[in-house]
Structure 1
Amino acid sequence: MTIVSQHSTAVALKNVTRAFGHRTVLDRASLTIHRGELFGLLGPSGSGKTTLIKIMAGIDRADAGEVHMLGVPMPKLEMLHRFGYMAQSDALYMELTGRQNMAFFGKLYGLRRSALNRRIEETAALVDLAEHLGNPVAAYSGGMKRRLSLAIALLHEPEILVLDEPTVGIDPVLRQSIWQELHVLSRNGTTIIVTTHVMDEAEQCDRLGLIREGRFIATDTPAGILQHTGAASIEEAFITLSQRTEGGARA
């Protein structure tokens, strides 16, 4: 597990609220993520995970509350060069090749010439796409598009990496390889925030935020959550904590 100073904060959210119409998606959510930490957001569909990370990245705005990334109030356009973001839906140019997509986004991140070419080759190799960079993205499978999106998010070696369901549609062997690389990045100081539905992925995180109906029901290490609930798995712990929350609400 990465050891960081408790005063070294990468992302801080305080009482963040977001509603769409009459539906409250985030309800006074507060969270602190430390630099160099591999932090997992775990919750069912509709729990607010994606909305939360969009607000972290400045893609969406909170209706109330405060969001700071690396000490800077969000959203701020200049922060684009300091974090990498991989959305749940792939935002790629289908008519361009994989290499052309990477070159386009790399230039947006400020990479030029030799540095850009080097990072294209390095990240493409990481996600096992090197042989396919010359093909149009329209010909890629769903899993290949996810891998290309991940490579693009990694291109500029960001201080913070925000990944929304990064391994959906990726085969188990490559998924394991990607997680090994995430651990290497974390040990080298990159802060990684990842949403996942896969329980064995959740257990690999330094800490987890379990979110349900827009509120955190637990924030702790995987071992701490298991110990607190007496559960044998994170899935069982989530169910136990959800039932306790419902019981408390009824009381």
Structure 2
Amino acid sequence: MQGFGLHISRGRTKILRGLDFTVETGRITGLLGPSGSGKTTLMRAIVGAQKVSEGSLRVLGRPAGERTLRHAIGYMAQAPGVYTDISVEANVRYFAAVYGLGRADAAAAIAAVGLEPFARRRTADLSGGQLSRVSLACALVSHPKLLVLDEPTVGLDPVLRADLWERFAAMAQAGTTLLVSSHVMEEASHCSSLLLLRNGQLLARLTPAELAERGGSTDLEQAFLSIIRTAESGPEPDPAAKAKET
């Protein structure tokens, strides 16, 4: 996946400003940044739900939003996109049917997120963490080449978060490309590479180790804050240029 000079605006408001980035195939890429930095807008553009104002965005070698990409991308939004008046199994089977798939594919997706004991339970009776897993199963059922997850671990307890990241790692090892957004910096350590967003701009593309080194801290949240402060303060003045001025 590649973006070049990517701009997205809503009316007169600029949401994303000139993003250039690459997401590696078969890896977990973390899209990190505070709320309002443009993470969700970028993800919506990748899955074809948001119009690009300027620049280019190619997904799996094709322009974002192209009809042929629909079955190749799985998307899990922040809000659970499931029907609460039917069972877990019925939800996942519905999404399987949309892709022309059957009961076995739905069962495999439910098993992949550890919800087999709750397959017949109505989703309205599930916990918040279990409901998030139903949404994930619906995104997985089409066997996507690219899985886009918008803050999938928000509100989950540490045990559930750890379990999901283990599952994400297994998917990447099997060849799935994952783009996972979060505003929790500690989750950066689970990713192969990171895209750091701030106010609609891409501050850096680096690995967790490079983030720690560049930010001068093994605490990734402090490292990210250091990068933000550096970016906001601007480049150091050139002593030679200042001498010429005087």
User: TM-score with structure 2 length normalisation?
Assistant: 0.90
Give the one of 106, 109, 114 matched to 1:128: 114
Task: Report the CA distance shift for 1:250/1:86 in structure 2 as closer, same or farther (over 3 A).
Answer: farther
Q: Is 1:98 matched up with 2:88?
A: yes
Give the one of 183, 192, 200 matched to 1:214: 200
Percentage identity across paired residues of the two chains: 37
Partner of 1:84: 74
C-alpha separation in 2, matches of 1:192 and 1:18: 22
Gaps of 5+ in 1: 1-10
Partner of 2:240: none
Give CA-to-partner distance per residue, 1:88-142, whole Å, 9 cap, x none. 1111122222111101101112213xxxx23322332332322222222222232
For 1:153, give the aligned amino acid: A
Displacement after TM superposition at 1:23 (Å): 2.2
SS across alignment from 2:234: helix
Partner of 1:72: 62
For 1:86, give the aligned amino acid: M
Number of aligned residue pairs: give it. Answer: 237
- Report the more deviating stretch, 210-219 or 11-20: 11-20
C-alpha separation in 2, matches of 1:185 and 1:126: 10
Contact 2:38 2:200 in 1 (8 A): yes
Q: Is 1:32 matched up with 2:22?
A: yes
Give CA-to-partner distance per residue, 1:17-70, whole Å, 9 cap, x none. 112233211011111111112100000000000000110110111111111111
Partner of 2:11: 21
Give CA-to-partner distance per residue, 1:161-214, whole Å, 9 cap, x none. 110011123232222122111111111211110001223321110000110000
C-alpha separation in 2, matches of 1:58 and 1:124: 26
Partner of 1:138: 124
Give the one of 203, 213, 217 matched to 1:227: 213
Partner of 1:5: none
C-alpha separation in 2, matches of 1:171 and 1:239: 25
C-alpha separation in 2, matches of 1:224 and 1:128: 34
C-alpha separation in 1, matches of 2:150 and 2:235: 29
C-alpha separation in 2, matches of 1:12 and 1:45: 23
Displacement after TM superposition at 1:249 (Å): 8.0
C-alpha separation in 2, matches of 1:180 and 1:40: 15
SS across alignment from 1:232: coil
C-alpha separation in 2, matches of 1:127 and 1:172: 16
Give the one of 120, 133, 138 matched to 1:147: 133
Contact 1:80 1:109 in 2 (8 A): no
C-alpha separation in 1, matches of 2:63 and 2:222: 36
Deviation >4 Å, runs of 4+: none
C-alpha separation in 2, matches of 1:157 and 1:177: 20
Larger radius of gyration: 2
User: TM-score with structure 1 length normalisation?
Assistant: 0.89
Contact 2:92 2:110 in 1 (8 A): no
Gaps of 5+ in 2: 238-246
